[in-house]
Chain A
């Protein structure tokens, strides 16, 4: 977990298609909807596989590892949120070429953030009404595996 206070975040509206993605962090898992017929990770999730058009899709847990594809250090106070400046990044997952997430980088000095870094997922827990939402953030993966 991030070692700083949990910041304000705009939370996602949960639907049948995305609920698993935004709540699986309760078990420490990063999960994507995946096609059972062809194995394609379908993100953002839709009801039909865009590759083979199968409707047989189910959430599938991935490794939680990623590579930092690109990042920006944001200085502009667009909205209530993490303390400025904060790092917005796009990470790419090893499970499928081009499978990426926009995220924030945590537990890493800003000056150390670099494209190509190995990363791993960490979750930030938010409770809103009946929803327990886990925002997938990424931190440096120093495990070397």
Chain B
């Protein structure tokens, strides 16, 4: 048996609630819709679920960032748990799923329900993101924690933090907006085939280059779209495969490393992120190589994060992300060497915050992508989530 225990785990089911810009629905209801769909998808019942994991756990600020915590779901479904975990300090949003893999491999649980739900669309309402910015109310609010070093400079959002890194990447490697724009363009093209996607109207390079700037070099179309929705996956032990509805997706390797400083300005190399280390770690836990990967579902909270994930996961060299996506052919859903964000990513399908990428990777590997299914029966995929100091990645296969 491999010493890399994630290989003893599988994704046995996935589920997703309705997804919308502003659904004005009870966040726990959206969460439970996703959870029950995932449990049924695996061919299990709530009696079989003996573990729960989530990111980030219950949070009231910023509004809409979390739809439910573990105990909300445990009580709502009357689950009897051998293990549970929720929290924001983890290797990105999918760190919670990786925690579940470790708990299953350790024998603390056999089927772990993992979920992430958001209602940022409804919470922000017509005011958009400025409605939920820290200190937006003014008055006597003082900045502390890591925000102490950004808020006094009117940099309260990840948009300028990521823009600073993108600008440095542009400077060092000659990356261009036309290259970066292929990530939102590709996402939009794929979203048109996804009935749950938020934005589906065609987008041209001219549209991209002319839309209003947010924080150079990032424009509106480089930023993901807040939405409401829940996503869930079930992590199960390989020994339970006979109990499942269909052959599961195997977890071949995971990456969780954070070796640089956990900071948006003190990190050692601002042209990359913690994903550099998580990606390298992942490839050290498998005999597969980047050349074996058929599909990539990579966090695009901002387009530039996906570009760094492409480099971090070894699909191109450091600094070569711009050239890799140029023209869009390499990342095209139909015919690309590495179809990227086949559901439309968070840029067009909605900011389901990390879990959407794992949901889509499994959907594609099961061949259940309907109109957006990548041709050629993809067998190996990656799901990657997080930006800046947060990075978690899973390498998934249809068989072992």
Chain A residues packing against B (C-beta within 8 Å)? 7-13, 15, 18, 43-44, 69-82, 85-86, 88-90, 98, 100-104, 115, 128, 135
Task: Tell me how far the C-beta of B301 lies from the nearest C-beta in chain A, rounded to whole angstroms.
Answer: 15
Task: Tell me how far the C-beta of B131 lies from the nearest C-beta in chain A, rounded to whole angstroms.
Answer: 11
Chain B residues with CB under 8 Å of A72's CB are: 160, 163-164, 167, 215-218
Chain B residue nearest to A100 (CB atoms) is B265
Chain A residues with CB under 8 Å of B164's CB are: 70-72, 88-90, 102
A88 touches B215 (CB 8 A): yes
Q: How many residues of B contact A (CB 8 A)?
A: 43
Tell whether B1 is near chain A: CB-to-CB under 8 Å. no
Chain B residues packing against A (C-beta within 8 Å)? 129-130, 133-136, 138, 140-144, 146, 148-157, 159-160, 163-165, 167-168, 171, 212-218, 264-266, 268, 270
Cα A13 to Cα B154 in complex, Å, equals 15
With A100-B265, A100-B266 already in contact, the answer to whether A73 and B213 are too (CB < 8 A) is: yes
> What are the 4 closest A-B residue pairs judged by CB atoms, nearest first?
A81-B154, A13-B142, A72-B163, A70-B168
Chain B residue nearest to A81 (CB atoms) is B154
Chain B residue nearest to A137 (CB atoms) is B153
Cα A98 to Cα B165 in complex, Å, equals 14
B265 touches A74 (CB 8 A): no
15 A-B pairs (CB sep. < 8 Å): A9-B152, A10-B154, A44-B148, A72-B167, A72-B218, A74-B155, A74-B214, A78-B129, A78-B154, A79-B130, A88-B154, A98-B268, A101-B265, A102-B164, A104-B154
Cα A76 to Cα B134 in complex, Å, equals 15
Task: Tell me how far the C-beta of A25 lies from the nearest C-beta in chain B, rounded to whole angstroms.
Answer: 12
Task: Tell me how far the C-beta of A114 lies from the nearest C-beta in chain B, rounded to whole angstroms.
Answer: 9
A79 touches B148 (CB 8 A): no
A8 touches B168 (CB 8 A): no
Give the residue of A9, A73, A82, A100 whose beta carbon is less than 8 angstroms from that of B215. A73
Chain A residues with CB under 8 Å of B163's CB are: 72, 74, 88
Give the residue of A76, A81, A100, A102 whose beta carbon is less than 8 angstroms from that of B214. A76
Task: Tell me how far the C-beta of B108 lies from the nearest C-beta in chain A, rounded to whole angstroms.
Answer: 34
Task: Tell me how far the C-beta of A39 lies from the nearest C-beta in chain B, rounded to whole angstroms.
Answer: 18
A12 touches B160 (CB 8 A): no
A10 touches B214 (CB 8 A): no
Among B129, B149, B151, B155, the most chain A Cβ lie within 10 Å of the Cβ of B155
Chain A residues with CB under 8 Å of B155's CB are: 74, 88, 102
Cα A102 to Cα B110 in complex, Å, equals 46
Chain B residues with CB under 8 Å of A10's CB are: 134-135, 141-143, 151-152, 154, 156
Among A10, A70, A90, the most chain B Cβ lie within 10 Å of the Cβ of A10
Chain B residues with CB under 8 Å of A7's CB are: 154
